[in-house]
Amino acid sequence: MSLFVLPKWLRPGTDLMSKAIIHDSKIMNIITTTLSNTQNDYLVGNPEWNNGTRSDVVLEAKSSVLNLPPIIIEIQHTVNRLFMKRVINYSLEAFNRHKLDPIVLIICTDTLSDSVAKDVKTSDIPACYEFPSTGWACNCLIVCKRRVLEYTDTMPLNPFIALTLFLTSRELTKNCSLYPDDPTIQYMYTLASHLHQNRLGDQNITDILAQVLDTQDHEHTKILELIDQNSSPKTVAKAIKNLQSQNYAMKRKYTDVNLGPSSIPTSISTAIATATTTAAAAAVADPTISENIDVTLESVTPYERGMIFVENFKHTRMQKGFKRMDWSACYSKGIELNLFKYKSADVLRNQFNKYINNNKKNCQ
């Protein structure tokens, strides 16, 4: 019997764990098979919407020729009227992007409020209630634990039932699960174990990471010297691109390993990508540098890329002795570099604050 126990911050049903599980190709196929009767036709899309809001997970068709609706997945502790208004907003944004009404799947991990429950009806899709969605979505499906338990009388469990049970039961160990011998439940706890190991991967890659950071520090020093010498924008941009090429080679070296997608450590590639942005942000923050700098971060999402840019922009200003963040300058430069599409500097500031708060929660 397995003795592995997840830490509370990686409990099933938390944002971090849920997103990691859903991004797995096998789990993704379980969802798309159930909701749109197709496999291997979806990929993880950009969850950030043009109005500055952000969904938990968005699946979109690999090709527009398939004419498949986007799938918006929200993992929510309490589903109430206010949350449903947010979901409607996400759906309208999805229509603006894809010109198709989305399918919405809401996984309620704790409380389905009476104000929402009174409007739902049972769905033909197992474990789901259906919320009225005429005019804004193909379907709006809500999963909660009491509904899931109505479908647990057959073994092995339907894979979609197993997935929703895993997320809504929120058990820290497979042995506490209602169905520890179910193959899909076992698979998800294996994924969870790999995620936990990857999060602890710093203990196993200390030497490699130290080497990478030493190299980065040396190259950053060279770039800062060029800036201090008032070198031309082209010279600085060339130095940064050379550093990016080194980063790409290093990333290939340590990620082209014969491992399954759930087992590949992300710590090294993310650290390298962040270091690249640090160099770019240092140049951006200097008023003598006006040329657009190509910030390439293949290992993070577009949303994370923008937030890392803001974080380093802010840090660089502090290093230069500025006590206050210049959100207008940061916003303008980010727009110029095509790192985000927020409507204003105020929206950018709010998104960054949410990003910082979410990171703090994940570390608690």
Task: Tell me the two tokens of residue 163.
Answer: 């997935």
pTM of the complete model beyond 0.85: no
pLDDT at 275: 37
Q: pLDDT-derived band of residue 282, with 50, 70 and 90 as boundaries?
A: very low
Could you read off the pLDDT of 219-254 as tens digits, one per residue?
777 788 788 788 888 888 888 877 777 676 666 555
Could you read off the pLDDT of 321-352 as tens digits, one per residue?
777 888 988 898 888 888 888 888 889 988 98
Classify burial at 263, counting beta carbons within 10 Å of its beta carbon; exposed 0-12, middle 13-18, buried 19 or more.
middle
Phi and psi for 59 in degrees, rounded to 5?
Answer: -105, 135
Phi and psi for 79 in degrees, rounded to 5?
Answer: -100, 110
Could you read off the pLDDT of 178-220 as tens digits, one per residue?
888 899 999 998 888 887 777 655 444 554 565 566 667 667 7
Our measurement of the distance from residue 89's CA atom to the centroid of its chain's CA atoms, rounded to an integer in Å, reads 19
Kindly report the three-state secondary structure assignment for every residue of the chain. Answer: CCCCCCCHHHCCCCHHHHHHHHHCHHHHHHHHHHHHCCCCCEEECCCECCCCCECCEEEEECCHHHCCCCEEEEEEEEECHHHHHHHHHHHHHHHHHHCCCCEEEEEEEEEECHHHHCCCEECCCCCEEECCCCCCCCEEEEECHHHHHHHCCCCCCCHHHHHHHHHHHCCCCHHHCCCCCCHHHHHHHHHHHHHHHHHCHHHCCHHHHHHHHHHHHHHHHHHHHHHHCCCCHHHHHHHHHHHHHHHHHHHHHHHCCCCCCCCCCCHHHHHHHHHHHHHHHHHHHCCCCCCCCCCCCCCCCHHHHHHHHHHHHHHHHHHCCCCCCCHHHHHHHHHHCCCCCCCCHHHHHHHHHHHHHHHHHHHC
d(CA 277, CA 348): 18
